[in-house]
A and B are shown apart, each in its own frame.
Chain A
Amino acid sequence: MTRYTTALAADVPFPPGIEEFYPPSLVGGAGHWLTKFTLLIWIAVAILIVFFLVAYRSPKMVPTRMQWMAESVYGFARDRIAGDLIGHEGARFASYLATLFCFIFVTNAFAIIPFIQISPNSHIAFPAVLAVISLVMFFWVGVRRHGFWGYLKHAMIPPAPWFVLWLLIPIEFISTFIVRPFTLAVRLFANMFAGHMILLVFTLGGFVLLNSAVAFVKPLSVFSWLLAIALTFLEALVIILQAYVFTVLTASYVQGALAEDH
Chain B
Amino acid sequence: MAGDQPPQRPRGSDDYSSGAGKGWTAVAYLISGILVWGFIGWLVDRWLDTGGLATAIGVVVGAAMAVYLIVLRLGGTTR
Interface residues, chain A, CB within 8 Å of chain B? 78-85, 88, 90-92, 94, 158-160, 164, 167-168, 170-172, 174-176, 178-180, 183, 245, 248-249, 251-253, 255-256, 262
Contacts and interface: CB of A to CB of B under 8 A. Distances in A.
A180 B4 contact: no
Nearest to B13: A80
A168 to B, nearest CB: 6
Interface residues of B, number: 36
B29 A171 contact: yes
Contact of A174 (B4, B35, B73): B35
Query: From DSSP, what is the main secondary structure of chain B's interface residues?
Result: helix
B20 interface: yes
Contact of A248 (B2, B11, B20): B20
Interface of B: 1-7, 11, 13-14, 17-18, 20-22, 24-25, 27-29, 31-33, 35-37, 40, 61-62, 65-66, 68-69, 72-73, 77
Contacts of B72: 158-160
Contact of B65 (A85, A168, A179): A168
Give me the 5 closest cross-chain CB pairs, A-B, nearest first.
A83-B6, A252-B21, A175-B32, A174-B32, A175-B28
14 contacts: A84-B17, A85-B17, A85-B18, A91-B5, A160-B72, A168-B68, A171-B62, A175-B32, A248-B17, A248-B20, A249-B21, A251-B21, A252-B18, A252-B24
Contact of B7 (A79, A81, A82, A167): A79
